[in-house]
Amino acid sequence: MLIVAQILSWIINIVIFVIIIEVVLSWLIVFEVINVRNPQAQNLIKLIKRITDPIMQPVRKIIPPIGGIDITPIIVILGLSLLDGFIMQLAYSNAVGY
């Protein structure tokens, strides 16, 4: 059980990292540091969107941008962090026997 929890924790942490990369990429696009006409940049953006959209879109439907700022990544990262903590606490409590 502990190994499964650790694998899930790794997956959750990777998804959080990819969400942070998506946020940074969106800033770089807005400030025109990254040219979105570049095919390599388009492929990178599509890959990251393919990973994060299944998680982010349901939350975006519920919580609209506030003042033009999308706070969805913050909420999703917070939720994933709480889920990670819950999974690890559950796994360790089962491993110890409490």
* pLDDT of the residue at 97: 63
Give the global pTM: 0.90
* pLDDT of the residue at 95: 76
The least confident of 19-23, 31-35, 75-79, 83-87 is 31-35
Q: Which tokens in the block code for residue 25? A: 């990429």
Who's near 56: CB < 8 A, 6+ residues apart?
19, 72, 73, 76
Domain spans in the chain, listed from the N-terminal domain onward: 2-92
* pLDDT of the residue at 82: 98
* pLDDT of the residue at 98: 58
Tens digits of per-residue pLDDT, 37-66?
999 999 999 999 999 999 999 999 999 999
